[in-house]
């Protein structure tokens, strides 16, 4: 019998034995009981201290510490603390670790393992669900050991690739068996969460679906197998929950319009509403993501998130001051979205003559807030001015360049910078104005650069020299001429 056939029989046997040995259990009440006790014995281990930790989205957190007792055990016990459903782990100061779950059962488990391999030799008493988890890990490990042996025996050619393909198919089949046997287990929850939707190529009438139709199906069914209504989801390793969410936002919705993003994130969050934990993490993460976004139109997503979830009082975890801060900022940003009319500015130039932003006569107006003491401005403003000069006459562009830090110490630097770089545009002194433009335009950092149309509606924002040129060329169809 060939080495390929021997190894393949071994992987199938190991996997099937692990699967058929599993037994069904009836889920207990998922309400988490108060208190926990875990006893961990690692034969041959010389550590004196051990940590208990948990996963939370993209992070790992130590939540308890145990000192080895006279019997060589690490005992973690808290009678007044509730462990919420999720995946937990034991780890030492060197970073060795072994994982387990807390889900349906009362968290009173006894673990035994060996120093040679914590995860390979782990045994448990008092938890059928963790016994189930460890059996899966053993089957999974056996499969990858067989694949590694096949690589050494067969090389990296077609025979090995065929073996690996069949081996992974066998593993997928075993996972399906395990999910069917224990659909309410934590392991099934995690395995299901990473399943991809089976996107059809044809509609029910047999007609081929377009790429757009297939994308829409994929987006609508991306979370079909993830229990977003279960609190345990957020307490799983990063690849199970956080990675899937961020891939959806960063890749699936890449370059989508702000309106489309709002539509899809609302659907996502609605699915998580029954879970306070997942709902909180999603609302916070999505809000922060689009608060920090450099894409010029995505501030509309931040405004949407604040108005729909923060202002309405749904963010139960936020302090009143945090709510007020975000609502105020969202109200400000709402007035500065693409398509809104830029707030009027009446200010004087370096010679004391007053100018109105709304009365700039040009087809386009470049509105700039900057300071000579800003490190980024020192490189950005000369580069932006060069592009402005290049297109000023050809495209009828005016400039309204506001000095953002007017005081006695910086006035000389402003004048010197203008002279050094020959900034022959409308240089505006920000000391006096018809409004508190720092607040109205949310000028917290500089430079801030807007492009306005002839009616002073915002065409673009968050610009730099290169993106300003790209926007002007697109608006004027310069590359098509």
In terms of C-beta density within 10 A (0-12 exposed, 13-18 middle, 19 or more buried), how is residue 432 classed?
exposed
Instruction: In whole angstroms, give the CA distance from residue 453 to residue 341.
Output: 9
pLDDT tens readout for residues 378-393: 999 999 999 999 999 9
- Given this structure, which CATH class describes domain 346-480? alpha beta
Closest CA to 404 of 364, 436, 452: 436
pLDDT of residue 481: 52
pLDDT, mean of residues 320-348? 97
> Is 25's pLDDT higher than 50?
no
Q: At 248, which helix (H) or strand (E)? A: none
> Is 29's pLDDT higher than 80?
no
Closest CA to 74 of 122, 124, 109, 39: 39
pLDDT of residue 11: 44
Q: What is the dihedral of CA 89, 94, 95, 101, to 10 degrees?
A: -10
Cα dist from 425 to 48, 248, 363, 388, 420, whole Å? 70, 44, 16, 9, 14
The tokens of 439 are what? 């607040």
pLDDT tens readout for residues 429-442: 999 999 999 999 99
Query: At 288, is the secondary structure helix, strand, or coil?
Result: helix
Cα dist from 433 to 40, 294, 302, 340, 344, whole Å? 69, 28, 28, 21, 10
- Going from N- to C-terminal start, the domains of the chain cover 1-184, 211-334, 346-480
Per-residue confidence band for 188, with pLDDT thresholds at 50, 70 and 90:
very high
Q: Please, what is the average pLDDT of the chain?
A: 91
Contact present, 197 and 42 (Cβ < 8 Å): no
């Amino acid at each position: 019998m060939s080495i390929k056939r021997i190894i393949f029989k071994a992987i199938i046997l190991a996997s099937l034995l692990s699967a058929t040995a599993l037994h069904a259990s009836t889920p207990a009440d998922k309400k988490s009981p108060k208190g926990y006790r875990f006893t961990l014995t690692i034969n041959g281990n010389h550590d004196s201290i051990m940590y208990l930790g948990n996963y939370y989205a993209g992070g790992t957190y130590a939540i308890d510490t145990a000192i080895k007792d006279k019997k060589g055990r690490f005992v973690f016990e808290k009678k007044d603390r509730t462990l919420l459903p999720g995946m937990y782990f034991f780890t030492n100061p060197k970073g060795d670790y072994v994982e387990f779950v807390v889900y349906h059962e009362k968290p009173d488990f006894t673990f035994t393992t060996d120093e040679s391999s914590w995860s390979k030799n782990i045994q448990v008493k008092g938890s059928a669900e963790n016994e189930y988890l460890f059996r899966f890990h053993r089957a999974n490990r056996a499969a990858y050991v067989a694949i590694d042996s096949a690589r050494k025996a067969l090389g990296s050619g077609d025979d090995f690739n065929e073996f690996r393909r069949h081996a992974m198919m066998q593993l997928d089949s075993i996972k399906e068996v395990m999910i069917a046997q224990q659909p309410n287990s934590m392991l099934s929850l995690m395995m299901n969460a990473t399943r991809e939707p089976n996107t059809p190529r044809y509609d029910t009438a047999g007609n081929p679906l377009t790429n757009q139709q297939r994308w829409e199906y994929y987006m609508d069914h991306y979370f079909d197998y993830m229990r977003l209504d279960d609190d345990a989801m957020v307490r799983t390793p990063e690849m199970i929950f956080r990675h899937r969410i961020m891939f959806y936002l960063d890749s699936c919705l890449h370059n989508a319009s702000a309106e489309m993003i709002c539509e899809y994130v609302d659907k996502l969050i609605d699915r998580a509403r029954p879970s306070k934990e997942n709902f909180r993490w999603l609302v916070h993460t999505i809000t922060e993501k689009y608060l920090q976004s450099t894409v010029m139109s995505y501030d509309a997503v931040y405004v949407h998130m604040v108005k729909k979830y923060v202002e309405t009082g749904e963010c139960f975890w936020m302090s009143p001051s945090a709510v007020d801060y975000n609502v105020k900022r969202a109200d400000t940003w709402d007035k500065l979205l693409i398509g809104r009319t830029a707030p009027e500015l009446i200010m004087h130039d370096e010679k004391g003559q007053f100018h109105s932003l709304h009365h700039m006569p040009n087809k386009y107006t470049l509105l700039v807030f900057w300071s000579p003491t800003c490190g980024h401005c020192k490189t950005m403003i000369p580069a932006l001015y060069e592009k402005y000069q290049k297109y000023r006459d050809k495209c009828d562009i005016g400039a309204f360049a506001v000095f953002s830090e007017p005081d006695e110490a910086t006035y000389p630097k402003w004048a010197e910078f203008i002279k050094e770089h020959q900034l022959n545009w409308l240089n505006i002194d920000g000391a006096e104005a018809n409004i508190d433009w720092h607040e109205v335009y949310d000028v917290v950092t500089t430079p801030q650069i807007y492009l306005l149309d002839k009616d002073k509606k915002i065409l673009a924002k968050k610009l730099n020299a290169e993106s300003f040129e790209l926007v002007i060329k697109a608006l004027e169809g310069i590359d098509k001429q």
